[in-house]
Amino acid sequence: PIKRAPWREASVYQIYPASFKDSNGDGLGDIQGIISELDYIKSLGVDMVWLSPVLRSPQVDMGYDISDYKDIDPPYGTMADHDALIEGLHHRGMKYVMDLVVNHTSDQHPWFKESRSSVTNKYRDWYIWRPSRHDPQTGERIPPNNWECFFSGSAWAWDEMTQEYYLHLWATGQPDLNWENPQVVDAVHDVIRFWLNRGVDGFRMDVINYISKEPGLPDAKPKKPGFLQNGAEHFSCGPRLHEYLQGIGKILSEYNAFSVGEMPDAGPEDILKAVGQDRGELAMAFHFEIDSMDFGPTGRFEPGTFRPTALKRIVNKWQTFMLSNSGWNALFMENHDTSRVVSRYASDSPALRTISAKMLANHLALQSGTVFLYQGQELAMANVPREWGMDKYRDIECVNHWEMVLRNYPDDPERQMKYRERYWSVGRDNARTPMQWNARGPSAGFMPEGAHSTAPWMSIHTDYPTWNVVNAVADQNSSFHHWRRVLKIRKQYLDIFIYGSFEMLNLDMDEDVIAYIRAVDPATGSDNGQVTVPSQALVVASFSVDEIWWTVPQKALAFLLDLSKDMKTTVLNIHAIVSKLGNYEGRNELR
């Protein structure tokens, strides 16, 4: 059975530092800005704060390209600011989670500068260098394999000086580290210890399942026309991954540190190997089956559609699998790489936007797992305005893709429009517009009053006069207050919502309703083996924009009517709030 642990009960707030709050008026969010809003964060009732990277970086990929693992990037602040942030969090009883980006570094990192300087340099083998191949027909130089970079083009960059290619699964400015080299492993361990010694409580580990590549780096199987192919089958959860994770896990356990791995392209069995409670690796990991549900078969910008029934199946699979195998889920629907959930999965129309945010909050946060809430999600922030021109998009993934589209399809306005539609609906820029603190223009309180000679690094969403922190905090019916209540209920009834069992209802029915029962599990449930009352909860979420009828299954009806008055109100509130289903009136139907 699953052992109790504070991190299972925790909820985590993710901050995207560039867009959270700018304290000095340079248009970029910073650490002092975060410090000034710690009470706001605390008021949500979260236990930990995860910051996307603030370490030294040329910012090719918003700090996911690190050039010094032991210093703060000056636009974000200083080491002293960072220490003060940790102290401010600890003072308020919250923990600090740092983003650890060690699949790759920046090409400006001294290790890489050394590495590329000559084939005999002692850092050469810290990265993945290979000679070129030649096309048998044309004799032209071609890369060592057909892997495609996640940000368009080949995953190999040719280096003129030493006449070899280096591997970069992400931008050319993000060369992949060679974990086969024990010196790299030691260097990463050193970075981990450095921050743990400075008061960091744990790490979110960027694409950590990509660190072990299959020896020989074989060509990827063709999945689409053309030379370049997604090579994940050869670098996701590679042969030495668990050895590397155990090495990290050992250090983490010395410090009792928290960990969450980011693991795209990994299924439940793979992730369980990293998060099973006796594995000594990670506490939990993000999977991307939900996030990629509405992507096309060959990538984010290819058309795909979201269906609640597909979501239902994925949720059911991960919930039951982790619970029955003593693993653990990291629950998220929004982060800095996604679009906004109200726009993406429900509705951001003025009438339905708040209820959509509440519905999604309940659906997500009452599942079994540790909950991750992304900045602005609590405000029901929406995707960027549809009419935005491409000049407003900032993300390298989107910008590179758009360049590729213009290059390859200059005379195909229809195709161009198709992709622009995708940037708007699933592009990463959607989650990156600055936080909207108040209704005051021009920066919605993101920048200090009177400091508007510079523009914010990314445009503010035009809906800020209505959708902002001041309004949300003032309105008890806002999604902000709803998130507070859900995070509280989750902990108040932790035998149900955190350690309880999970049962999906009507798995193959109800296109638009996702309903599940959480119940105290006598095996893990309570410390003394006694089942407390209430012991079960029904969570119903309707993804329909129209009013619909839903029949409460008999087994849920029985305990619904049985609940103590208090819990009944709570549960009914959950219904009323979450669902666009109206009030429960003692019938076996919810409207």
The set of catalytic residues is: 206, 262
Asked if 107 is part of the footprint of ligand ISL (rule: CB under 6 A), the reply reads no
Q: How far is the CB of 191 from ligand ISL (least distance, A)?
A: 15
Position of tokens 């982790």?
322
Asked if 176 is part of the footprint of ligand ISL (rule: CB under 6 A), the reply reads no
Q: Which are the contacts of 385, defined by CB distance < 8 A and separation ≥ 6? A: 461, 462, 463
Asked if 69 is part of the footprint of ligand ISL (rule: CB under 6 A), the reply reads no
Q: How far is the CB of 106 from ligand ISL (least distance, A)?
A: 10
Q: How far is the CB of 210 from ligand ISL (least distance, A)?
A: 9
Choose, by CB under 6 A, the member of 149, 207, 232, 248 that binds ligand ISL: 207
Q: How far is the CB of 146 from ligand ISL (least distance, A)?
A: 18
* Structure token pair of residue 242: 């668990």
Residue 77 or residue 173: which is nearer to ligand ISL going by CB? 173
Q: In terms of DSSP bridges, do strands 258-262 and 284-286 run parallel, antiparallel, or are they unpaired?
A: parallel
Choose, by CB under 6 A, the member of 96, 111, 123, 170 that binds ligand ISL: 170
Residue 266 burial class via C-beta count within 10 angstroms: exposed 0-12, middle 13-18, buried 19 and up: buried
Residue nearest to ligand ISL (CB): 64
- The whole-angstrom separation of Cα 562 and Cα 169 is 55
Q: How far is the CB of 375 from ligand ISL (least distance, A)?
A: 14
Site for ligand ISL in 216-275 (CB under 6 A): 262, 264
Site for ligand ISL in 273-332 (CB under 6 A): 300
CB 30 within 8 A of CB 473: no
Residue 403 or residue 547: which is nearer to ligand ISL going by CB? 403
Residue 209 or residue 536: which is nearer to ligand ISL going by CB? 209
| CB burial string 412-449: b at 16+ within 10 A, e below | eeeebeebbebbbbbbbbbbbbbbbbeeeeebbbbbee
- Taking residue 235's Cβ as centre, other Cβ atoms within 10 Å add up to 24
Closest CA to 74 of 63, 64, 61, 84: 63
H-only helix segments in 256-395: 268-275, 308-324, 341-345, 353-365
Amino acid, res. 473: V
Q: How far is the CB of 419 from ligand ISL (least distance, A)?
A: 14
CB 177 within 8 A of CB 184: yes
Give, in order, the Cα–Cα distances in Å from 246 to each of 104, 232, 283.
Answer: 19, 22, 12
x/- mask, ligand ISL, residues 10-49, rule CB under 6 A, reads ----------------------------------------
x/- mask, ligand ISL, residues 396-435, rule CB under 6 A, reads -x--------------------------------------
Residue 312 or residue 336: which is nearer to ligand ISL going by CB? 336
Choose, by CB under 6 A, the member of 18, 48, 51, 101 that binds ligand ISL: 101
- The whole-angstrom separation of Cα 180 and Cα 147 is 19
Count of residues in contact with ligand ISL, rule CB under 6 A: 13
Choose, by CB under 6 A, the member of 127, 150, 156, 467 that binds ligand ISL: 150
* Structure token pair of residue 252: 């983490």
Strand partners, 133: 142
x/- mask, ligand ISL, residues 334-353, rule CB under 6 A, reads --xx----------------
Residue 72 or residue 285: which is nearer to ligand ISL going by CB? 285
Q: Where along the sequence are the contacts to ligand ISL (CB under 6 A)?
A: 61, 64, 101, 150, 170, 206-207, 262, 264, 300, 336-337, 397
